[in-house]
Structure 1
Amino acid sequence: MLTMDQKYRIKILHRFEAKSMRQIAKETGSDFKTVKKYLDMKDFNEAPPAKQTRSSKTDQYEEIVREWLEADLTAPRKQRHTAHRVFERLREAASSKGLDLDVSERAIRTLVARLRAEISQQDIAFLPLFHPMGEAQVDFGETTFVEKGIRYEGYHLAMTFPYSDAGYTQLFKGQNLECLMQGMKNIFEYIGGIPAVIWFDNMSTAVKSIKAHGEREVTDGFFRFMTHYCFQSNFCNPASGNEKGSVENFVGYSRRNFFVPVPEFEDLQTYNHSLLKICDRDLERQHYKKEERVLDLFVAERKAFAPLPQVSFDAYKYVLARTNNYGKATLATNHYSTAGHLANQNIWLKIGAHTVAILDKDMKAIVTHPRLYGKNKESMLWSPYLNLISKRPNALRYTEFFESLPEKSRNFMEHCDLDEKKKVVSFLADLTQEQSIEEALQSLEKLLQLGAQDSESLRAGYRYLTEPKFSEVKIKVSTKLPEVKEYRINWDGYMQLLEAAHESKANCSQSM
């Protein structure tokens, strides 16, 4: 299987040097069918990690060994298990049952090392540069903004096209690889094309190291992004900002013109979409040198762009993590809730610029958090825990979830008996299958205001509010109705029968 840089070279030789598949096969030493396969490939997204099903002889001992090692955390340092002592205890346990231990000491050492790792995770003149059509430059700049009333010291990613002097920008809370890829993807899709060459500085999100003769070792995730969109990357020499002076200028220009006063909004992704339109309006200015509208120059330059790939790129990475006793996973010192049944379990984190999705070991989505930026923060989403709380309703009032309830909902819960509390929390858990937890709590509050008094009236009220209403059928009645005579009931016959029955009953009584 070819490495990502080999796949990238095949694409570049074909697109930029117009070499045939046979020429590429000969030059790269790859099979013709392999070259054809990667030239035809349209999707270079990273596949979700496959579930590992390979078993090991040590699997049967993992639980007991983990128990010993976790117990060591409270033992004196000099009285903790060594890998050899673990092996000896396992052998003694097998011997007591008249059996031989069926694994080697080396295998146990490997198991102990893996489990310990999991447990511990708890002055040169500048030269004027020529920029042809179809080239771009990318950089980050620091920017302050306010989302939902919270102030962030964030960043804006800027992409400029030096030939036309067009520029676009996107706001982010960080400047990691996911932010870089998401911002570039947003701009690519908005302008409808891919530049042939893009200039970067030596940002650590894209460059692992600078080798001899100026070669760069690019991170695997960024290599995948480059290969998917099939553009060439040029990295500036260290401390040579003039080599990408266009974007350096635009970083400051956009901060002064787009982000003054400090922007305030409710949702960052929605704001980023409107920000692209703000950048469109900026193209109406005159080019600083060519005395033409930037918009006209950019329309001409876009003809040099490659079309978008048929498959959209997923700007995410997958990271394996292990939850703690409370079912929380850690990413870069920040903690994310999972679900009540996932305590001390291996899970996958699907990490994007704006979100962190929790996936179980079978890659099934559990819950999606907003991504946290900063240190030692926590995101707690209660919806996956509601079913667990419904089984242990006495624990409800001691949770942060209970304290976060609106006053009316909290008072209602406090006055419910144990069985009714179970039913109400179960009702909330059902609501979160259709709504966010915030929307579910708003529905609860509205139903209580309408007079709901128990779980049954909550469910009935919710159905009334959400299920479709049948419109009243209006029947047209003619104004010329036939005259109907009044009908009077004659009770004489009925009364005669009653009198006869009464006389008959009286006669029977006398005869007796």
Structure 2
Amino acid sequence: MLAVAEINYIRHEVNKKDSNYSEIGKRLGRDPRTVKKYAEQDDFSPVEKIKQDRPSPVMDPIKHIVDEWLLEDFKQKKKFRRTAKRIWEQLKEEFDFKGSDRTVRNYISQRKKELLNEASQAALSLESKPGSAQVDFGEAPFKYQGEQITLPYLVLSYPYSNSFYFQVFPAQNKECFLEGLKRIFHHMGGVPKTIRFDNLSAAVKKILPNGERQLTEEFQNFVLHYGFESEFCNPNSGNEKGHVEAMVKYVRNNYLLPGLHVLNLDELNKTLWEKAEKDRERNHYEKESFISQLFEEDRKAFLVLPSKEYQCIRYETVKADKYGYIKVEKNLYSTSPRYALNKVLIRISYNSIDILTDDYQLVVSHARLYGQYRKSINWQPYLNLMAKRPMALKYTSFYEQLPQEWQTYFNSCTSSEKSEALKLLGTVMKDYDFSKITEALKIALEHGHPSVESIKQVFYQLINGRGIREEVHLQKSLPIMPEATRGLQHYNQLLKGAEIN
């Protein structure tokens, strides 16, 4: 193609000065036919260049194999992907490939760009591509200990297949949110490529003016661990995750109403996997396929799970009050008297609060409380302190929580016996609950008011599996003794039946 200046000159000379094509061609050193072409051309719109697909007899038979390998590798972290050299070697080993290393390298370099471009375009439409998901919380009524309570449940839905998973939790905090996602990932055996979220506080600390999000540290680490791409809805735009919002309602109406009786959330959640999977045995509302078949296409597009599960915990340092209690979200947890008015390291998960030493050794563990202004007390660290003030025992809430057998026993103890018994409980409760030591007390009480040493001996017999020795009962009457008489006839009895040599 001629330069723009040359084309302008030709069109000026022909159209304005009526010069002929030959003269202009001589001046420019161009063929008159070329001059004629540009002088008469009417359309200068850009023309699409048609890419010529040249046949490649060496690569064509194995291109689809390389493509499959590249797609498989895209599910892995980069350090786990095959190099072009390794793919070339694998082709030689498994398919007797005769092409060169450079031929494979060139194809892979170009094909990776094409596949990555396709993947980035696919991510624009979450509702229609396999391997993408949406997340949201819902709420439902449950019955616990005769009362009706409201609990949240986390739903992870898959718009392509119209399938879902869900788990029930005591709250919508960071730990429950991440624990729910982790459970679902590991149950499925894979991780969705892209997950769309609302701007929930468990993931987003702040929405910045330019539309970007300042994420919580825990969520950032979780995303890095599992490698998925996170997307967030615009503020007040719930329709951008309309699939999961519809699925939240579907789950509540079909599986959580009327309110379920719940004693243990972990046991309840184990039953929910099967309910979600059984729901897939129906036709998709638009596509003429079972949801279970479409979900397999979702599953094929999932990323590979990392080798280790993410630990959904966080660490905090808080100050204990003068009684050794710490506060986590308006609830109190006991530590140990030695931590009174000192800073304490704690480990927080969705269902536990662990008190740790500076080198992360466990001091005491509590079940995590939900609600407000509740108190969890583990008395074991306080018992040695109580042993120094045994007369104050009756005025503590620990005394009120004791089994009746122990209350009765302490009421009949001297001050020194109370002190020794509290020390024994302090030792035992490091590794055991009240059941065995109370059983030992019951056995020891059968013979009257026992000493602390007696209770201790019975306890260790119980835990070592030796049981309790049976008592020795005297016979009601002694055996009849022969009448004492003089003479040697008694010795004859010894010789009866004896052989005399």
**Aligned letter for 1:401?**
F
**What are the residue-to-residue correspondences of 1:473-484 with 2, within 5 Å?**
none
**Selected match of 1:171 from 152, 165, 168:** 168
Q: CA deviation at 1:447?
A: 4.3
State the partner residue of 2:432.
Answer: 435
**How many percent of aligned residue pairs carry the same amino acid?**
36
Q: Equivalent of 2:460, from 460, 463, 472? A: 463
Q: Does 1:250 align with 2:243?
A: no
Matched, 1:314 2:311: yes
Structure 2 stretches of 5 or more lacking a match? 1-73, 84-123, 468-485, 492-501
Match in the other structure for 2:261: 264
* Contact 1:229–1:308, Cα closer than 8 Å, also in 2: yes
Structure 1 position 386, deviation (Å) = 2.1
Distance in 2 between the 1:197 and 1:15 partners? 17
- Match among 238, 255, 270 for residue 241 of structure 1: 238
Contact 1:447 1:462 (8 Å CA) reproduced: no
1:352 aligns with 2:339: no
Conservation of the 8 A alpha-carbon contact between 2:191 and 2:305? yes
Residue 207 of structure 2 corresponds to 210
Pair 1:128–1:312, CA change in 2 (3 A):
closer
Residue deviations 1:68-121 (CA, integer Å, cap 9, x gap): xxxxxxxxxxxxxxxxxxxxxxxxxxxxxxxxxxxxxxxxxxxxxxxxxxxxxx
Deviation at 1:380, TM superposition (A): 1.5
Q: Which moved more, 1:206-215 or 1:132-141?
A: 206-215
The alpha carbon displacement at 1:360 in A equals: 2.7
Deviations 1:19-38, CA, capped at 9 Å, x for gaps:
99xxxxxxxxxxxxxxxxxx
Q: Please give the per-residue CA displacement for 1:126-149, whole angstroms capped at 9, x wherever unaligned.
A: x99633111111111122324455
Following the alignment from structure 2 to structure 1, what is the Cα–Cα distance between the partners of residues 422 and 77?
Answer: 60
AA paired with 1:279? A
Paired with 2:225 and 2:199, the residues of 1 have a C-alpha distance of: 21
Distance 2:400 2:430 in 1: 22
- 451 and 371 in structure 1: CA distance in 2 versus 1, 3 angstrom threshold: farther
Q: Which amino acid aligns with 1:388?
A: L
CA contact 2:336–2:382 (8 Å) conserved in 1: yes
Which of 362, 365, 372 aligns to 1:365? It is 362
Matches of 1:493 and 1:228, distance apart in 2 = 99
Corresponding residue of 1:34: none
Find the counterpart in structure 1 of residue 42 from structure 2: none
Letter in 2 for 1:292: S
- Matched residue, 1:424: 421
Structure 2 counterpart of 1:98: none
Answer yes or no: is the 8 Å Cα contact 1:171–1:268 preserved in 2.
yes
Work out whether 1:283 is the aligned partner of 2:253. no
| 8 A Cα contact 1:140 1:158, kept in partner | yes
Q: Return the alpha-carbon distance in structure 2 between the equivalents of residues 441 and 168 of structure 1.
A: 44
8 Å Cα contact 1:147-1:268 kept in structure 2: no
Which residue, 154, 158, 161 being the options, matches 1:157? 154
Amino acid in the other structure paired with 1:392: R
Match of 1:331 among 306, 328, 331: 328
CA distance, structure 2, for counterparts of residue 184 and residue 491 of structure 1: 99
In structure 2, what is the equivalent of residue 302 of structure 1?
Answer: 299
1:180 maps onto 2:177 in alignment: yes
- The residue that corresponds to 2:388 in the other structure is 391
Q: Sort the Cα spacing of 1:130 and 1:270 in 2 relative to 1 into closer, same or farther, 3 A.
A: closer
Deviations along 1:137-180, whole A, 9 cap, x unmatched? Answer: 11111223244556542211111111112211111121111111
- Deviation, structure 1 residue 373: 2.0
Secondary structure, aligned partner of 1:214: coil
Q: Residue 202 of structure 1: CA displacement?
A: 0.7
Q: Greater CA deviation, 143-152 or 238-247?
A: 143-152
Inter-partner Cα distance in structure 1 for 2:235 and 2:177:
20
AA aligned to 2:387 is S
> With CA pairs under 8 Å and 6+ residues apart, which has the higher RCO, 1 or 2?
1
- Structure 1, unmatched stretches of 5+, are 1-10, 21-126, 471-489, 496-512
How far apart are 1:259 and its partner, in Å? Answer: 1.6
- What is the CA deviation profile of residues 189-222 of structure 1, one whole-angstrom value per residue up to 9, with x for unaligned ones? 1111111100100112211222244222211111
Counterpart in the other structure of 1:130? 127
In the TM superposition, what is the alpha-carbon distance from 1:341 to its structure 2 partner?
Answer: 1.6
Greater shift, 321-330 or 297-306, is seen at 297-306
Identify the residue that residue 16 of structure 2 maps to in structure 1: none
Structure 2 counterpart of 1:54: none
The whole-number CA distance in structure 1 between the counterparts of 2:443 and 2:288 is: 64
Q: Does 1:380 align with 2:387?
A: no
- CA distance in 2 between counterparts of 1:444 and 1:426 reads 16
Contact 1:432–1:440 under 8 Å retained in 2: no
For residues 421 and 149 of structure 2, the distance between their equivalents in structure 1, rounded to whole angstroms, comes to 37
Query: 1:446 deviation in Å?
Result: 5.3
Distance 1:12 1:165, change over 3 A: closer
Per-residue CA deviation, residues 303-336 of structure 1 (Å, 9 max, x unaligned), is 2111221122110111110001000001222211
1:93-132 matches, cutoff 5 A: 130-132=127-129
Is residue 152–residue 173 contact of structure 1 (8 Å, CA) maintained in 2? Answer: no
Query: Quick check: 2:132–2:298 contact (8 Å CA) kept in 1?
Result: no
2:304 maps to a residue whose letter is P
Identify the residue that residue 140 of structure 2 maps to in structure 1.
Answer: 143
- 1:242 is displaced (CA, Å) by 1.8
Deviation by residue 1:382-422 (Cα, 9 ceiling, x = unmatched): 12222322332222111101011222321122111222222
Provide the rounded CA distance (Å) in 1 between the counterparts of 2:131 and 2:371.
37
Question: Which residue is equivalent to 2:198?
Answer: 201
Cα shift readout 1:267-315 (whole Å, capped 9, x = no counterpart): 2223222222332222323322223322222233212111221122110
CA shift in 2, pair 1:346/1:210, >3 Å? same
CA separation of 1:188 and 1:407: change in aligned 2, threshold 3 A: same
Question: What amino acid is the match of 2:395?
Answer: Y
Q: Comparing 156-165 with 383-392, which one deviates more in the overlay?
A: 383-392
> Which amino acid in the other structure matches residue 302 of structure 1?
R
| 1:231 Cα deviation from its structure 2 partner | 0.6
8 Å CA contact 1:12–1:230 kept in 2: the answer is: no
Give the Cα–Cα distance (whole angstroms) in 1 for the partners of residues 355 and 347 of structure 2. Answer: 7
Is the 2:440–2:458 contact (alpha carbons within 8 Å) kept by the matching residues of 1? no
What TM-score comes out, normalization by structure 2 length?
A: 0.65
- Rounded Cα–Cα distance in structure 2 between residues aligned with 1:294 and 1:203: 29
Distance 1:342 1:140 in 2: 38
**1:485-500 equivalences in 2 (<5 Å):** 492=488
Q: Distance in 2 between matches of 1:144 and 1:329?
A: 31
Tell me the secondary structure at the aligned position of residue 156 of structure 1.
strand
Task: Report the Cα distance in structure 2 between the residues aligned to 1:448 and 1:168, rounded to whole angstroms.
Answer: 53
